[in-house]
Structure 1
C-alpha cells in the first residue's frame, strides 16, 4: 500500500509515494499536504460476512492490514490485541458489555425509522479519541523500538484529543508530548484531565487564543522541515494518517452490529469540527462499506454545514469563532477537510493545492458553480453521501433533556448535537447510527444546566478538578514555541 500527498505535484507523485511505516510518525507531508492511500483498498461482501463475528481487536487487524502492508501481520495482530481489551475500555454503563468495546443502543424505532447510538467513550479518557489514540501509542512505541529512535509529539486539542494522546503516550519509551490547547476554553473536566498529569514526558501549553490558533502553530512548525527533522517532531492530530485509519474500524463495527445482511445500508451522524472523525467514515464508504449518508453535525461554528449546504468553504478568524457548550467542535478551519476535497476534485493534487492556498491567503473557496466561483464540484457532493446540520446551545439543552426523559440516558453536549441533527435526517428503512463523542461527565456544567443535577462519573474521576495542575500559558508565537520545544527536548 503506497501513500501520496494531497498536494504532490503530478511529476513527483509517483516517486514520492511512501508506505505506512514511512508516514506513521509524521503529520503533514513535506509539501504541506495530507497523506492518503494511492488507492483505497476494497472490501468484499464475503469479507463483511466473515467479519460479523470477530472481536473488535480482530476486526481492527483485518482492516488495518489492508493499509499497513509493510508491518508484519503477526506484529500488527499483536498490537491490535494489546490495544483493544476490556481492561482498557472498561468504562461501561448500564446495558453495555465491555467486551464489545463499542456497543450499540437502540434509542427509537418507529415507522421504518431507526435511531441508534454507538458508544465510543469506554476508554481511559471517556472520549471517542481513545479508540484511535490507544492504538497510536502502541504503534509509535513499536516503530520507535525498531529504529532505536525518539519522537517529540507536537499537537493541538480543542478538548479531547489532548487527554487521549497524553494518556496513550505517558510513560512510553522515547516519546515526549507537547500539547497545545486554547486557554480557558475547555470544560473544567477536560482541563483537569490534561493538566493534572505530572509525567515528565508530558508538556501542556495553554495558548491565548482559540483552537485554530493552536492548530495553525502545529502546521507552521510541521512546515519548518529543518526544525521538524532536528527535533524529531511528529503529531497525533487527525492530520496523522494512522489516527484516521484507526477510526475507520468503528464504522465497520457499527455497520456489522446494526445489520444482518450486506444488502442493508446504514447512515452515520457524526458530531464534527475538524472533519477527522467523519473523514474516517468517508474512507470506510470508499472502501465499499454500505453507507447511505454521512451526516456532519456542527455547533454554532458551522463552517462544514455551510459547505455541505452551499458549496462555499469559508473559514472564520479567531474573533469570529464562538466559544460554545460543545467546545471540542469550536473549530473554524477543518484540517482534515483537504482529504475529502482531494477526492471531490478527482484526486487532482494541483487543484487541491490551489484551493487550499486560497484558504490560506483569502480565507476560503467556492465550489458552488455560481458566476465567479472557483469551480462547480459541489454538484458531486451527493455522490459521496454527505449531508449536514447545525445545533445551538438551546438545541443541546433541549436534546439532553429529551434523551434523558425518553431513553433514560444522559449524553454529552457534542453527542446532543449529533442526535439533534440525526433526527432531521432519518430515512425509512435505513438505520441511523449516531457516533457518541464523550461521556456526559466531561461537560458537567451544561448537564447541570440542562437537568439540574450532576452527571454520573466513572470510578477514579470523582474529584479530578481538585488535583494539582501543571501547564504553561503562551501567546500564539511560533518562534517562542520552537524555543520552548527545543529547550525541553535537549536535541
Structure 2
C-alpha cells in the first residue's frame, strides 16, 4: 500500500516512511492511496474475536509491506494487553439503544492510548530495523502528551518533546506528562494555547534545519497516519458487539482535531454499516459551524471545561476535505490557504455530500455540567466533560431511535475533577489504583515563551546526541 499527500505535491511513500515522516513535504497529510474494503460476510466472521485479533484483521492491510504477520500480531497483543479491562473497549448502556464505549481503560485513561501504545511499538520496531534515531515533537491539548510519553518512553531510539499550553490543561493531565521519569522525555509548557503549540510543530516539520541535519522529527499527533489507522478498529468492535454488520450504527464523537471521527468515516468506507456520525464540539465550534452552515472560519480560542477540545485549527479535517474535493490536492491547498485569511465555504454539492453522513452540535459549559449531572442521576454513571458533550450532541442530533447510538467515551472523569465538581454531582471521581499516587510524584517541565525559535533552540540542545 502506498500513501499520498492531501496537497498532491509530495512523493508517495510506503508505511515505514509515512510512520516516520508525519507531515508531508508539501505541508499535507498522508492518506492511503486506496482503502481495503471488507464484505459484510467477512466482517460478520469477526464476531467473538479478541480486540487484538480484530485489530489485526482491520489494520494489517495498511502495514503488510513493512511488518511480517507474526510480528504485527505480537505487537498488538502487547499493546492491548496492558489495558485494564479485558474487553479493552467495553460498552456501557445508558438508555434504550444508547451506549457509551469506554475508551479510557488504557494506561493514561484516555482514548489516545489505543493509538499511541501501538505507535511506540511501531516506532521501536522500524527504528531498530533501520538503526535510526528520531526526535518526536508533539503538541497536546491534554491527553495526547501523556499517552505519547507512556507509549514511547521505553523506546531506545527516540527523544520525545511534548508541547502543552501553559496552565490550560487539567492538573491530572499535566501531572500524567510531567511525572514520567526518563532522560529522553521533555515537557515544554508554552505560554500560549494549543493552536500555538500545534503551529510550532507544523512549522518545525516543514523546516528541520534547527536539528543540524543530525536527526529528523517524527510525529505523534494525529497528523501521523498510524494514529488514525489504530482508531478505526474500535468502530468495528462496537458494531460487532451490538449486532453489526447486520444492522447499521450511529456514533457521536467528542472531537477537536477531527482525527477520531475521521477514523469512523474510514470505517464506513471500508465496509462497516454506519448511518450517522455526530461531530460533538464545545464553544470552540469551527467544525460545527462548517457542518451546520458550510462556513469554515476561525474565531478566537476559548478556554472551557473540556480542554482537550479547545482547538480551532482542526488538522485532520484536511483529510476529509481531500475526499470531498475528489482527492484534488491543488484544490485543498488553495482552500486552506484562503481559510488562513478569512472565512471559506465549499461548493454546495460537496457540503451536502458530507451532510449525508455527518451531523454536528456545539455544547457550552453549562450544558456539559447539566449532562454530567443528568446522566449520573439517571444511571449513577459518571461522565467526563468531553464524553458528556458527546452524549448531549448524540441526543440532540439523533436521526433514528431504532439505530444504536454509541458515544465514544474519550477520557476517565478523574482527569477532570473540577468539571465534575461544577456539575453538582455528589461523588468525587477517584484515580485508578495504578495512578493513586500521582499527586505525590515529582514533576519536570520547562516553561517557555510562545516563540518558535526559543522552543526549537531548547530541542536542539536537549536531544540525546545534540
TM-score (norm 1): 0.91
**Other-structure match for 1:84:** 80
Say yes or no: does 1:403 pair with 2:369: no
1:8 counterpart residue number: 8
Greater shift after overlay, 20-29 or 206-215? 20-29
Q: What CA distance in whole angstroms lies between the structure 2 residues aligned with 1:24 and 1:363?
A: 33
The equivalent position to 1:104 in structure 2, one of 70, 82, 91, is 91
CA distance in 2, matches of 1:358, 1:231: 33
Name 1:372's counterpart in structure 2.
none
Residue in structure 2 matching 1:251, options 230, 235, 239: 235
Q: SS of the counterpart of 1:43?
A: coil
Which residue matches 1:150? 133
Q: What aligned pairs does 1:281-300 form with structure 2 within 5 A after superposition?
A: 281-300=264-283
1:237 to 221, 234, 247: 221
The CA distance in 2 between the partners of 1:146 and 1:462, in whole Å, is: 37
1:441-484 Cα shifts (integer Å, max 9, x gaps): 00001112221431122113234234221111111222222211
Residue 378 (structure 1) shift: 1.3
Query: By how many angstroms is 1:263 displaced?
Result: 3.0
Match of 2:35 in 1: 40
Gap change, CA 1:198 and 1:225, over 3 Å in 2: closer
Aligned to 1:65: 60
Alignment of 1:81-230 (within 5 A): 81-85=77-81, 88-90=82-84, 98-109=85-96, 114-227=97-210, 230=214
Displacement, 1:41? 1.2
RMSD, matched Cα: 1.4
Q: Structure 1 CA distance, aligned partners of 2:255 and 2:146? A: 18
Of the three residues 348, 362, 367, the one matched with 2:346 is: 367
> For residue 432 of structure 1, what is the aligned residue in structure 2?
405
Name the residue aligned to 1:312. 295
| Larger deviation, residues 200-209 vs 424-433 | 424-433
Q: Is the 8 A contact 2:145 2:177 kept in 1?
A: yes
Which structure 2 segments of 5+ residues have no match? Answer: none
Alpha-carbon distance in 2 for matches of 1:290, 1:198: 44
Mapped pair 1:24 → 2:19: yes
Comparing 60-69 with 221-230, which one deviates more in the overlay? 221-230
Distance (whole Å) between structure 2 residues aligned to residue 230 and residue 282 of structure 1 = 38
Find 2:361's aligned residue among 389, 411, 414: 389
- Within 2, Cα distance between the matches of 1:193 and 1:120? 17
Instruction: Report how many aligned residue pairs link the two structures.
Output: 461
Instruction: Report if aligned partners of 1:276, 1:336 keep a CA contact under 8 Å in 2.
Output: yes
8 Å Cα contact 1:231/1:486 also seen in 2: no
For residue 469 of structure 1, what is the aligned residue in structure 2? 443
Q: CA deviation at 1:227?
A: 4.6
1:482 aligns with 2:461: no
CA contact (8 A) 2:325 2:332 kept: yes
Q: Which residue does 1:321 correspond to in 2?
A: 301
Deviations 1:400-445, CA, capped at 9 Å, x for gaps? 1111111111110100000011111231321000000111000001
Deviations 1:360-412 (A, max 9, x none): 3x04421264xxxxxx52122124x0110111111111111111111111110
Aligned to 2:260: 277
- Note the alpha carbon deviations across 1:336-365, whole angstroms, 9 max, x for none: 1000000011111110111111223x0442
Q: Distance in 2 between matches of 1:482 and 1:396?
A: 37
Aligned to 1:67, the other structure's residue is in SS state: helix
| Deviation per residue, 1:157-176 (Å, 9 max, x gap) | 00000000001111221111
* Contact 1:310-1:368 at 8 Å conserved across structures: no
Distance 1:147-1:463 versus aligned 2 partners, 3 A rule: same
User: Is 1:351–2:304 an aligned residue pair?
Assistant: no
Deviates more, 1:173-182 or 1:62-71: 62-71
Q: Indicate which of 354, 369, 389 corresponds to 1:417.
A: 389
Instruction: Give the stretch that moved more between structures: 159-168 or 472-481.
Output: 472-481
> C-alpha offsets along residues 293-348 of structure 1, whole Å, 9 cap, x if unaligned?
110000010010000001111123xxx11100000000000011000000011111
Q: Give per-residue Cα distances to partners, 1:158-199, cap 9 Å, x unaligned.
A: 000000000111122111110000000011111111111221
Match of 1:94 in 2: none
Whole-angstrom CA distance in 2 between matches of 1:210 and 1:363: 20
**1:377 maps to which residue?**
350
Give the Cα–Cα distance (whole angstroms) in 1 for the partners of residues 347 and 170 of structure 2: 37
Tell me how far apart the structure 1 counterparts of residues 42 and 382 of structure 2 sit (CA, whole Å): 36
Indicate the SS of the match to 2:414: helix
8 A Cα contact 2:208 2:216, kept in partner: no
